[in-house]
Amino acid sequence: MLIIEDLKTRKRSWAHGRNRRHPGWKPRPVAPGLIVMKFGEQLRSSIIREYQWYYIDYDGLKDELKRRSGSATTPDDSTRSSKISRREWSEDDESRFVGKLETELEKVHTKQQVKAMEISRRITVSEREVRDVVNRLNERGPGEEGPSEEEFMLLEEDLSDIIADVHDLAKFVQLNYTGFYKIIKKHDKMTGWHLRPVFDTRLKARPFYRENYDASVVKLSKLYDLVRTRGNPVKGDSAAGGSQGSFIRHTTKYWVHPDNVTELKLIILKHLPVLVFNASKEFDMQDTAITSIYYDNPDTFPLYEGRLKKTEGAEAIRLRWYGGMQTETIFVERKTHREDWTGEKSVKARFALKEKFVNAFLRGDLLPAAVFEKARKEGKKSEKAIAEDERLAAEVQWTVLKKGYKPVCRSFYHRTAFQLPADARVRISLDTELTMIREDNLDGVKRSGDNWRRMDIGIDYPFSQLPPGDIVRFPYAVLEVKLQTQLGQEPPEWVRQLISSHLVEAVPKFSKFIHGTATLFPHLINLLPYWMPQMDVDIRKPATHDFGIQRAGHSATNSTSDDEDDDDSDDEQLAPTGRNGESSTQGASSRSGGPQQPATDVEGQTAERGSADDVYLYDSDSEDDEDRLEDARRVGGWTYFQTLVATTAGAVARGTWTVLKAIVPHPQATPVPRNERLQGLLGSGEIQQKRFKAPKGKKIYVPVRVEPKVYFAAERTFLGWLEYSIYIGTIAVTLLNFSTRNGDVTSFVAAAAFTFLAVLSLLYSVGIYLYRSNAIRTRRAAKYYDKWGPTALCAAMFVAVVLNFASEGRSRHIW
């Protein structure tokens, strides 16, 4: 749930978010503890001194909406209680408001253009100064002194100041862009006049919000790296980043809100340079585009389900290219998931193929031997490498033809990668403008047709020509942090600070293929990934520690809300093939505005945030009784009767158990004081909990890790129960066969009691074993601990022994 705090009255209220992305979702709250300002308050608290006279006059525009010069209207029955009659919004009012809006737009656009040109000139000047200092360092003779440390420090301070300027300009643009759309929304709601379509056209003529500063980030990254390394940047192969298959790599994925993307780039570039494939080429946004076509069987989606469940040997097949549609080199990739217990690592392998040969290859007309015939003649690759690629091509071709895989989903994004050349210990990539697009022909619409990809789109984001049903624009950027983890190596402190900061939201095992397939085919996919409920949660968070780019005397920006208006790698290794044609853009450095406090790693952060006060539960392993009954009713017959009995019995059992729990005294949990972090965010008020539920007929799959020893543990538990059942049966046989009195009813009753207990124990152990084995095989998040079985067994044993002892004492006339 979302805590909304009115900074004027200091009152808090609860608000629920609405899902607009997936049909069938019920309203769900956003993350607990997020204090959200109204936009007017946030605008006033976020003003940067340099820009204070150039922000949108949000309050002035709101006042214009309240000034109505039209004739008064008589209240109708629904508003008869109102004492003040409303005036109609006239054409003169609209002209006055639009005129003021145009003035504000021109003011903001002009300031953005002037500041952007100033930053560009400063970068050019700094580039000249850095080049001069580095040249003096490289050209000094023997015995000559080079540039002093002070010169490098001054250059670093100057670049840090430029970085802070880029950050401030990005925040200025983002805040004003939000302000314009909020005031337009308020205008349309209050007046009934629809200004949004017209204003969209005016914004396109004054696109102050279109600048993503990637070109500036790349230049700043190169300059800052030169200065940081004192003119000796790390050299190496920028294309492959070293032998990526020679070490164990740990990969974690995060979501980044668009408001934090530029700041995140600027923070990272202070520590890692932008990885650029061709440093001599001018930056081109097209070079950062990456497009992938994912294949699957559109009837059953086996690849989707395998990747979602992370089953052993699950594959993903995709065709990827870098840059625009004119790119000739297409990479055919296969990702294979391996469970840790196998001792193998998940692998991503690929081979290059000319675009003109892709259709023939996928149809089986072009055999793998012919694909690599030219490579063998040229001799640029070893025979072993060519043989491996040919084997991979043969396996992919056979799988596609045998299992009927077709193009189903396309993912497009712009990637900014940060890494030291030839040093893959830390690699960070940030994917922005992520979009998933349908490639299938399932509904009779010819998209890709007989071609391996659709040709009516390219890299022209946001693909406005596509119908809404064909496209999903992901609302966040995706940050991927890859760390070398061999020999227990710890990640750098700045990485720990970054992944535990308010700028990112951890989403382990997030997959573009899985998300795209689940959202583009809602009527065919019934098993949803675990992060689906989180799509309705505002991932912006207040700063938990002093981390980011700040200027002295400036308030940190706060989250905004509409409430005022009432594949990826997945821990997989890439076979070292060299990325021909890939050029990564990249980004920037930052200066923290204060001492940095030590931060926990992502596991510690998750454990702290996931306290007993704000835990989210998922309905992943069972549907509602109502849904089960509805499905059974369609089948009819014995299935419906059986389901009806089961659901009714379950409801009665749950009701009885609830009553018994309320009546029977039981131990109460000791209340634990709220930790300092939650106390600071939420205060001492009660925190409500929300249970997420999937839409009707669908389930949310929660990843469950299963290893062979889990099966063995279930077997050992069953054998343990079986052993005790045999012991109890032995006692029964002893009582029955070794009684000294013939026709002794007491001994026979005691033996019968122990026999019944042994049989009951045996049946219980078999039932528990079958339940656990089925849950393990289906990877359900079931409860594997036995809460009642051992207690019931001990109690029954105690009662049987006491009764036997009492019976024997009575028969011996002891009492």
Same domain, 771 and 792: yes
340 vs 677 pLDDT, higher one: 340
In tens, the pLDDT along 517-541 reads 999 998 888 888 989 888 888 888 8
Q: Find the Cα–Cα–Cα–Cα dihedral 163, 164, 167, 168, rounded to 10°.
A: -140
Strands 573-574, 347-354: pairing kind: parallel
Nearest to 805 by CA among 742, 743, 731, 737: 731
Lowest-pLDDT choice from 188-197, 323-332, 514-523:
188-197
122 vs 740 pLDDT, higher one: 122
Region at 107 (left for phi over 0; alpha for psi -120 to 50; beta for the rest): alpha
Same domain, 277 and 314: yes
140 vs 680 pLDDT, higher one: 140
Is residue 493 one of the residues assigned to a domain?
Answer: yes
605 vs 733 pLDDT, higher one: 733
**Mean per-residue pLDDT over the chain, rounded:** 76
Instruction: Give the pLDDT score at 511.
Output: 92
Whether the per-residue pLDDT at 562 is higher than 60: the answer is no
pTM for the whole structure: 0.70
Same domain, 221 and 268: yes
Radius of gyration of the chain (CA): 33
Beta-carbon contacts of 508 under 8 Å, excluding residues fewer than 6 positions away, are 252, 253
Is residue 303 one of the residues assigned to a domain?
Answer: yes
Same domain, 357 and 393: yes
Instruction: Give the pLDDT score at 520.
Output: 93
Is residue 411 one of the residues assigned to a domain?
Answer: yes
Q: Among residues 174, 193, 211, which one ends one of the domains? A: 211
Whether the per-residue pLDDT at 664 is higher than 60: the answer is yes
Q: Which residue has tokens 């800052």? A: 224
Range of 185's domain? 37-72+87-137+147-211
Same domain, 220 and 192: no
Whether the per-residue pLDDT at 471 is higher than 70: the answer is yes
In tens, the pLDDT along 398-447 reads 999 999 999 999 999 999 998 887 677 788 999 999 999 999 888 888 88
Is residue 185 one of the residues assigned to a domain?
Answer: yes
Is residue 567 one of the residues assigned to a domain?
Answer: no
Same domain, 757 and 713: yes
Same domain, 597 and 632: no
CATH of the domain at 352: 3.20.100.30
Instruction: Give the pLDDT score at 446.
Output: 87
Average pLDDT over residues 694-706: 75
Whether the per-residue pLDDT at 351 is higher than 50: the answer is yes
Q: Among residues 211, 232, 251, which one ends one of the domains? A: 211
Is residue 415 one of the residues assigned to a domain?
Answer: yes
Instruction: Give the pLDDT score at 635.
Output: 65
In tens, the pLDDT along 328-344 reads 999 999 998 877 666 67
Whether the per-residue pLDDT at 256 is higher than 70: the answer is yes
Whether the per-residue pLDDT at 153 is higher than 90: the answer is no
- How many domains are contained in the chain? 4
Residue 279: band (very low, low, confident or very high) from pLDDT cuts 50, 70, 90: low
Same domain, 753 and 652: no
In tens, the pLDDT along 88-124 reads 888 888 888 888 888 988 999 899 889 989 988 988 8
Instruction: Give the pLDDT score at 26.
Output: 41
The set of catalytic residues is: 512
Is residue 715 one of the residues assigned to a domain?
Answer: yes
Whether the per-residue pLDDT at 312 is higher than 90: the answer is no
Same domain, 731 and 802: yes
Instruction: Give the pLDDT score at 322.
Output: 92
Instruction: Give the pLDDT score at 241.
Output: 39
Is residue 126 one of the residues assigned to a domain?
Answer: yes
Same domain, 326 and 459: yes
Same domain, 265 and 169: no
Round to whole Å and give the CA distance between 364 and 360. 6
Residue 781: band (very low, low, confident or very high) from pLDDT cuts 50, 70, 90: low
User: Burial code of 238-266, b = ≥16 C-beta within 10 A, e = fewer?
Assistant: bbbbbebbeeebebbbbbbbebbbbbbbb
Residue 487: band (very low, low, confident or very high) from pLDDT cuts 50, 70, 90: low
Nearest to 164 by CA among 490, 592, 699: 592
Whether the per-residue pLDDT at 584 is higher than 50: the answer is no
Same domain, 774 and 719: yes
Lowest-pLDDT choice from 153-167, 681-695, 712-726, 765-779:
681-695
CA dihedral sign of residues 549, 552, 554, 555: positive
Instruction: Give the pLDDT score at 497.
Output: 87
